[in-house]
Structure 1
Amino acid sequence: MQILIIRFGDDWKKCLELPPKDTRMRTADVTSTKGNEFEDYCLKRELLMGIFEMGWEKPSPVQEESIPIALSGRDILARAKNGTGKSGAYLIPLLERIDLKKDHIQAIVMVPTRELALQVSQISIQLSKHLGGVKVMATTGGTNLRDDIMRLDETVHVVIATPGRILDLIKKGVAKMDKAQLIVMDEADKLLSQDFVVLIEDIISFMPKDRQILLYSATFPISVQKFMNKHLKKPYEINLMEELTLKGITQYYAYVTERQKVHCLNTLFSRLQINQSIIFCNSTQRVELLAKKITQLGYSCFYIHAKMMQEYRNRVFHDFRNGLCRNLVCTDLFTRGIDIQAVNVVINFDFPKNAETYLHRIGRSGRFGHLGLAINLITSEDRYNLKNIEDQLVTDIKPIPSSIDKSLYVAEFHSASSFY
């Protein structure tokens, strides 16, 4: 047990019981900070209590850059690697600026998937639990619309949402955005893709003209640039990714035929020291078939994809995150911002078609600067994609060796959770 004395002056000292200190090796993009403390940002004492109870001892680089600028009210365009603390970078200033005397929606966080909405809302609730009345609501498609309408009939300060559902609530006159001064877009490249950009534009049209916009993502394609030019006012630009690849993640490929893939996977399971793994397939049908095969081989395995009932998806996500199962098979549904720190191995059972998908997939390991391992099962059809992705990301995906050094992906830190 650790006891932390928060330095607020002699008149107020609070003892907090913190989670065990995480002593795992971290990469420079998380550890290379300016040396700031959370206390330096003049945050509310109650918010600082929530921050420290989360186990966040000092701000990461993206938090150091974002928090003071966001508190000033300026627009932000931030590019940082997955797993470096982007959620904290926008949630801390967002929660600091909530005025509990006002009973309307003051901020909205847009995310592309239901699972990410649930994760962000959970972090928000934990951070704000000492603030005395901040009301946070998550709303996503696939859940009961009537429940959301009833909830919005009461006070809600912060909404975490997927675009389609919140726009539906706005157009029904239930979610009133005319006084919401802040909109955050997490995984902005996905939100501003063709799938969502029309919805996002529509949502912003219901907000005040002087609202603040914060954009966060690991990649910024042309669609983001167009949106920024149209809607952001002299944004403060943060770029903590000079190169597009992910530090701290060792990448290998195994050249196999389609028939050899399951046997190769079985060999990896027997030889690797896996805390938790995420295994990606390119279709929902292959996800279910592979999960069944893995279970038949005697390994614990969950699966998740977009065609499953939302209630079941929520349960799988919750149980996997809490360490009740070691392996998760999924589609690209799970590539966006999902933060499960016990995951140290990602396997591309089916190799992705483009560099952006590859980047987000392997970013599920090595969260918050820890080390991770990415293994790609490559068939003859994938060899051109492999070369293109290496070129675009300026990275080297090496042939898998007969033995993989455990120090590349196994940490000294062990979670208390059981994986079986």
Structure 2
Amino acid sequence: MSTRSFDSLKLAPAQLQNLADLGYREMTDIQAAALPAAMAGEDLIAQAKTGSGKTATFALPLLSKLNPRDFGTQALVLCPTRELAAQVASEMRRLARYQQNIKVVVLCGGQSIGPQIGSLEHGAHIVVGTPGRIKDHLRKETLSLGRVSTLVLDEADRMLEMGFIDDISAIIDHTPQTRQTLLFSATYPDDINALSQRFQKSPREISVTAFVDDSLLEQQFFICQRNEKLSGLEKLLHRIRPDSAIVFCNTKESTREVCERLLESGIDALSLNGDLEQRDRDQVLVQFRQQSCRVLVATDVAARGLDIDGLPAVFNYDTPRDVETYVHRIGRTGRAGQPGLAVTLLAENERHRLDAISAYQGKELAFEVLAAVPTAKQHMPRAAYATLAIAGGRKDKVRPGDILGALTGEAGIDGKAVGRIDIMDHVAYVAVDNDLAGQALNRLTNGKIKGRKFKVRKLKGQPRARSRGSTGRR
């Protein structure tokens, strides 16, 4: 039996069948290295990036210990952002399908606390959330952590970077000392070690070296003057013309500056940073996923937990400050057997960062002089879709088929012109061919969905940030 086979773990036969049904064929590097110790009940401090399979690494041991008949909170997963918490909870529900009635509740800011309190009143085996909102529930005494047997700190480095250390400490004080604590971090700065020493018991240290698969991911580097970066990024996007791309910046101010320049050059772009309210963040991400925006300009923290299927390209407008962050960024493309492209702009005085990346990967990486790259004859095409927001969602019993039926029925839109549909609790988003968006908006506004009238609007432009004074990293 292969040591990468899930059969080598002490998992219930029903869970093994569930894993096979979900397409889990063999363990990833982090799973093979960490799961045996985690299943044995040991504390872990593991270095692993998004997309490495770390959710299953903590979910499988956690689920194996759950008592389905006890609706007290038996596991707590702390995440830095709402997006990551939602992603983790979704995967945990899939992994928990082999057991009946396992309840996973997400507790994050940016949404009303009332419905969350209502959910908790009916019990929750697993709670996934952000530190600030978890602390709110503890203060209101609407959440009890006295029966937690597993605590997970996911992307702990980002939680510390975002200033959550005091909240994390206060939350952990509410959990039993007998708990198992699993700490995951993409990078491993000194304060992660300090956090581990405070809250873990003789943790097993697991580090899976991140690598770049040259068969899937092409890396390109361009040297330019610092004041040529904006025009250089514009030139490369028009030349490469990816279907979609994430452009990474180191500061919030850079995301705004870059996004404005791209819009001026005719590139459909939106920025994602910590100045946006949660509702606006959700709308930006929906538009990017629905391809009504081609380029997302983001900071590392804002993009944490953002997982886009089939992302063809990543651009580093600002070179990351450490090699691990570089590998984490470019690892968002070239995944699941699909080819990817990672493009990095380097100012003349940043060549040492290319040397560091080369040394980390154990190979020499070539670069081009940006000024020598010819200007593209064609511009990057506009987004294929527009996103319509419908004021009715999951809580209103609205389903994707209802929206598709309204568009192809009363609205008379060809089904091929309808793209992705995303249903939230109180709002739904649908991508419609740009040329037909006006017709679809008019027909939905004046027609009905599932026999009911809903307000409908077209999402347009960058949401207004709550503050423009800060230039921090979030």
Judge same fold: TM > 0.5, yes or no: yes
CA contact (8 A) 1:336 1:360 kept: no
SS of 1:398's partner is coil
Out of 175, 191, 198, which is 2:166 matched to?
A: 198
Structural mapping, 1:9-408, within 5 Å = 34-193=2-161, 195-241=163-209, 246-248=212-214, 249-258=217-226, 260-272=228-240, 274=242, 276-321=244-289, 325-367=293-335, 372-380=340-348, 382-383=350-351, 396-400=364-368
- The two structures have a TM-score, normalised by structure 1, of 0.77
Aligned mates of 1:393, 1:155 — CA distance in 2 = 47
Give 1:245 shift: 6.0
Gaps spanning 5+ residues in structure 1: where? 1-32, 404-415
Residue identity opposite 2:169 in structure 1: E
Q: Secondary structure at the match of 1:151?
A: helix
Give the structure-2-normalised TM-score.
0.69
Change in Cα spacing, 1:319 to 1:155, as seen in structure 2 (3 Å) is farther
Change (3 A) 1:57 1:245: closer
SS at match of 2:312: strand
Contact 2:43 2:180 in 1 (8 A): yes
2:119 maps to amino acid = R
Larger mean CA deviation between 392-401 and 142-151 belongs to 392-401
Q: Which runs of 5+ in 2 are unaligned?
A: 374-415, 421-430, 434-474
- Structure number with the bigger relative contact order (C-alpha 8 A, sep ≥ 6) is 1
Number of residues of Structure 1 aligned to a counterpart in Structure 2: 374
Q: 1:150 to 1:339 in 2, by over 3 A?
A: same
Is the CA contact (8 Å cut-off) linking 1:362 and 1:374 kept in structure 2? yes
Structure 1: distance between partners of 2:166 and 2:338: 36
Matched letter for residue 141 of structure 2? G
* Separation in structure 1 between the aligned mates of residue 339 and residue 184 of structure 2, nearest angstrom: 22
Change (3 A) 1:326 1:396: farther
What is the DSSP-based 3-state SS (H/G/I as helix, E as strand, rest coil) of the residue aligned with 1:184?
strand
- Tell me which residue corresponds to 1:20: none
Cα distance between partner residues in 2 of 1:35 and 1:273: 43
Contact 1:275/1:342, CA 8 A, preserved across alignment: no
Matches of 2:88 and 2:225 in 1, distance apart? 39
* More displaced stretch, 284-293 vs 54-63: 284-293
Deviation at 1:208, TM superposition (A): 0.4
- Note the C-alpha offset of 1:145: 2.0
**What SS does structure 1 have at the residue aligned with 2:111?**
coil
Code of the residue aligned with 2:194 in structure 1: it is K
For 1:312 and 1:79, how far apart are their aligned partners in 2? 31
Alpha-carbon distance between aligned partners in 1 of 2:41 and 2:193, rounded to the nearest angstrom: 21
Q: CA separation of 1:45/1:316 partners in 2, compared to 1, >3 Å: closer, same or farther? A: farther
Amino acid at match of 1:378: L
CA distance in 1, matches of 2:3, 2:118: 45
Cα deviation, residue 210, structure 1 = 0.5
Rate the CA distance shift 1:194–1:335 in 2: closer, same or farther, 3 A: closer
Quote the Cα distance in structure 2 between the aligned partners of 1:58 and 1:184. 23
The verdict on how the C-alpha distance between 1:80 and 1:308 changes in structure 2, with shifts beyond 3 A counting, is closer
Task: Tell me the distance in 2 between the aligned counterparts of 1:262 and 1:194.
Answer: 28
What is the SS of the residue equivalent to 1:70? helix
Cα distance change, pair 194–348 in 1 and its aligned pair in 2 (3 A): closer
Q: Deviations over 1:294-314 (max 9, x none)?
A: 345444434322222212212
Q: Distance in 1 between matches of 2:313 and 2:2?
A: 30
Please say which of residues 187-196 and 176-185 is displaced more in the overlay.
187-196
